[in-house]
A and B are shown apart, each in its own frame.
Chain A
Amino acid sequence: KAGVTQTPRYLIKTRGQQVTLSCSPISGHRSVSWYQQTPGQGLQFLFEYFSETQRNKGNFPGRFSGRQFSNSRSEMNVSTLELGDSALYLCASSLALGANTGELFFGEGSRLTVL
């Protein structure tokens, strides 16, 4: 069974640009969550999508957005990039069943560097 696939794995952008990251969840998983990982702030929740609807949103500015497609694949977008957006962006998928709440399967991440 294929795991969570994130693309691209590495990318470099300059301030002011925008970036789109992609995530393909495990087959059959309908929930996709995004997390930002930085040395200073650790792992922080960005948002979660379930059946193409945003279910939860973390405390990030509106420059961070996402969406989910009918096949459960998800994308997140960051506009007007700032130096502080440099981070590892992790995608996680889950079955989203009550008993499995919190049991996430993470991808290896997309490492974004903003210059």
Chain B
Amino acid sequence: GDSVTQMEGPVTLSEEAFLTINCTYTATGYPSLFWYVQYPGEGLQLLLKATKADDKGSNKGFEATYRKETTSFHLEKGSVQVSDSAVYFCALIFNNAGNMLTFGGGTRLMVKP
């Protein structure tokens, strides 16, 4: 079945460091891909999305590019801040599956000042 694999955390970085969180997927077909973020004490929030190959999603300085050839959707940010500390979830969905998202296991990011 469809699945999403993320790098295990926690990922600990110093402020202003470069961030990469790896995400790969296994799916039959071409899903839409998402990154959701869960800040401490808050609900999940959509961070960015890409709906087709080579699309780049971006928001709040974060970027991810839909790579069909490597079935990946890695999350990057050039300079992290303490406020970026959260758990990040990669997810996929197919157009005919309503809102049935398949999530990765989540990666906790801790940014130290």
Contact = CB atoms under 8 A, between A and B. Distances in A.
A58 B34 CA distance: 19
Interface size grouping (class) on chain A: 20 to 34
A70 interface: no
Interface residues on B, range: 20 to 34
Interface in A44-65: 44-45, 48, 50, 55-56, 58
* A interface SS class: strand
Interface in A23-75: 31, 33, 35, 42-45, 48, 50, 55-56, 58
17 contacts: A33-B98, A43-B103, A45-B100, A48-B99, A55-B98, A58-B100, A94-B99, A96-B99, A101-B93, A102-B32, A102-B34, A104-B44, A104-B99, A105-B46, A106-B45, A107-B43, A108-B41
Interface of B: 32, 34, 41-46, 49, 89, 91, 93, 95, 97-106
